[in-house]
Amino acid sequence: MALRRIYLFSLALVWGCMASSSSSQQTAVAPPQDLQITDPGLLGSLDIEWKPPPNVQTFNECTVKYKFEYRNTGDREWKVIFTRKLKFRVGFDLSRTAEVKVQTLLEGRCTNDVEVQSEWIYATFQVPLQGKLESEVQNFHCIYHDWEYLKCTWQPGLLAPRGVHYGLYYWYEGLDHAVQCDDYIQDHGINIGCMLQNLSQAEYKDLSICVNGSAAATLLRPLYATLRLHNLAKPSPPKQLVVSMSASEELRVVWSPPGGETPPQCLEYEVQLAEEQGKAKAAWASVSTQMETAFTISRANQSRISCVRVRGRTNNFCADQGFWSEWTQECFSVSRTEDKQLFILIPVILSLSSSLIIFMLIGQCKKRTPAGKAMYMSVGC
């Protein structure tokens, strides 16, 4: 009885699905409506919203999802998000046009478990781009020193008029609104850089930056940048570099991670060696890139002076890229084995030969003066 009921039920199900799938093939699901992009003033993040398609209530045994894609004009790839939500905040480069598109995805019994896609609906957004492109600041770049402070610098734009005033604004997820830099670096009264402290909350996120400017009668083009602090980190040089020689005549190099807020597990080091070859100027050669803070070098060339230098940077477990620190350098000099023997031999030979001469002299003088006069006089003969 129960079996029969299940059989009937599944028959009905198959029939229903066939019916609905054939109908869904004819009447495709509609795209979402009212796609809108708004700028909340966060220097890169835009809010994208849409409404469900008009007939969405009729698909009661199906799930409605959306495929949302976005990019900046000029990008080759679209970034894709599958969602059931109707609102998103995503990051763009505001100096270029933002493009978004959304389609409805319908799947379930009403489609015979086949995914049905609607047409796309598109929208674009562009902040008003004031001023000429040449008025934008140049050579903008930032370094995150020791994971402690971010130093950004720039040069005035080519078309920057006299008396220009630049401002740097930044925002990251967690701040209510964009914040202006409060520690500018100046050159002849013009802001050409900014120091930002206390950014640990912004690590491993997008940090949106805008450098804009104003001058009496001219509009200047703002510069937008999205930074990732961990990819801009530059550590201090390694500390306490010690080079010593082991019993087996190997150079043992040991150092400590730099101080500051740099996570020690985020560092890798490059070790270079320069061995003096006679009078030839030593050339640096890379001997290791590693995460450990010790290294042993075999002294193949038995040179007298070896210099070792070590620098650090963020490893690829913590970042895609980073900046090398400056070098820490230490030289180690060893006297050659032959030299050592010479050093011992010379005094021995010297003392031996001088005592021999004295004995010979004494002997000669004694022969000449058998009465045995004072030695001083005899030496004088």
Ligand X SMILES: *[C@@H]1O[C@H](CO)[C@@H](O)[C@H](O)[C@H]1NC(C)=O
Examine residue 237 and tell whether it contacts ligand X (CB under 6 A).
no
Tokens of 64: 């409605």
From the list 58, 301, 337, 353, which residue makes contact with ligand X (rule: CB under 6 A)?
301
Tokens of 261: 């807020």
Pairing of strands 267-275, 285-290: antiparallel
Examine residue 300 and tell whether it contacts ligand X (CB under 6 A).
yes
In the complex, the smallest distance separating the C-beta of residue 160 from ligand X, rounded to whole angstroms, is 13
In the complex, the smallest distance separating the C-beta of residue 46 from ligand X, rounded to whole angstroms, is 13
- In the bound state with ligand X, the residue whose beta carbon lies nearer, of 284 and 327, is 284
Examine residue 285 and tell whether it contacts ligand X (CB under 6 A).
yes
**Other beta carbons less than 10 A from residue 276's beta carbon:** 16
In the complex, the smallest distance separating the C-beta of residue 183 from ligand X, rounded to whole angstroms, is 11
66 contacts 80 by C-beta, under 8 angstroms: no
295 contacts 253 by C-beta, under 8 angstroms: yes
Q: Which of residues 313-352 bind ligand X (CB under 6 A)?
A: none
In the complex, the smallest distance separating the C-beta of residue 256 from ligand X, rounded to whole angstroms, is 25
Q: How far apart are CA 278 and CA 346, in angstroms?
A: 23
Q: Which of residues 206-225 bind ligand X (CB under 6 A)?
A: 210, 212, 214
From the list 159, 178, 254, 334, which residue makes contact with ligand X (rule: CB under 6 A)?
178
Examine residue 38 and tell whether it contacts ligand X (CB under 6 A).
no
From the list 167, 184, 195, 323, which residue makes contact with ligand X (rule: CB under 6 A)?
167
**E strand or H helix at 331, and its extent?**
strand 328-333
- Secondary structure (H, E, C), 273-298: EEECECCECCCCEEEEEECCCEEEEE
- How many chain residues touch ligand X (CB under 6 A)? 14
Q: How far apart are CA 231 and CA 322, in angstroms?
A: 5
Please compute Rg for the chain using Cα positions: 39
Q: How far apart are CA 62 and CA 80, in angstroms?
A: 22
Tokens of 311: 């620098």
From the list 169, 170, 255, 269, which residue makes contact with ligand X (rule: CB under 6 A)?
169
Examine residue 98 and tell whether it contacts ligand X (CB under 6 A).
no
In the complex, the smallest distance separating the C-beta of residue 281 from ligand X, rounded to whole angstroms, is 12
Q: How far apart are CA 33 and CA 103, in angstroms?
A: 10
Q: Which of residues 246-275 bind ligand X (CB under 6 A)?
A: 273, 275
- In the bound state with ligand X, the residue whose beta carbon lies nearer, of 247 and 300, is 300
In the complex, the smallest distance separating the C-beta of residue 275 from ligand X, rounded to whole angstroms, is 4
- In the bound state with ligand X, the residue whose beta carbon lies nearer, of 121 and 251, is 251
How far separated are the first and last CA of the chain, in Å rounded?
A: 145
In the complex, the smallest distance separating the C-beta of residue 62 from ligand X, rounded to whole angstroms, is 43
**Among 90, 41, 85, residue whose Cα is nearest residue 69:** 90
381 contacts 375 by C-beta, under 8 angstroms: no
In the complex, the smallest distance separating the C-beta of residue 10 from ligand X, rounded to whole angstroms, is 58
Q: How far apart are CA 275 and CA 267, in angstroms?
A: 26
- In the bound state with ligand X, the residue whose beta carbon lies nearer, of 36 and 301, is 301
Query: Which string of x and - marks every residue 182-201 that binds ligand X (by CB under 6 A)?
Result: ----------------x--x
Q: Which residues bind ligand X (CB under 6 A)?
A: 41, 167, 169, 178, 198, 201, 210, 212, 214, 273, 275, 285, 300-301
